[in-house]
Amino acid sequence: MVKGITRQVVVVKGGDPAMFEQAIFLVKDGVLSQGGVSEEALLTQARQACARERTPWQRWREKLTWAACGA
């Protein structure tokens, strides 16, 4: 539970609809106020992170990791 804290977030809907409804990215304090990054650039970066396709090796490595953990 978070009380009394205001954070800037980017909410991206999409991804795998069977598993996820939306992704929420917490924006670091001062990123937008410093003027180095636009809101559109933040949104583009968040969308790319959600749409990033994993390679077959990454999917295999993830399965191996879960198997090694006993899941």
User: Domain locations in the chain?
Assistant: 9-69
pLDDT attached to residue 6: 78
Task: Check residue 70 and report its DSSP letter.
Answer: T
Reduced to 3 states, what is the DSSP secondary structure of residue 38? coil
Q: Do residues 8 and 39 lie in contact, with contact meaning Cβ atoms separated by under 8 Å?
A: no
Query: Which segments within the chain are labelled E, that is strand?
Result: 9-13, 22-26
Of 59 and 25, more confident: 25
**Residue pLDDT, tens place only, 13-56:** 876 677 778 888 888 887 777 877 888 888 888 888 877 676 77
Quote the pTM value: 0.57
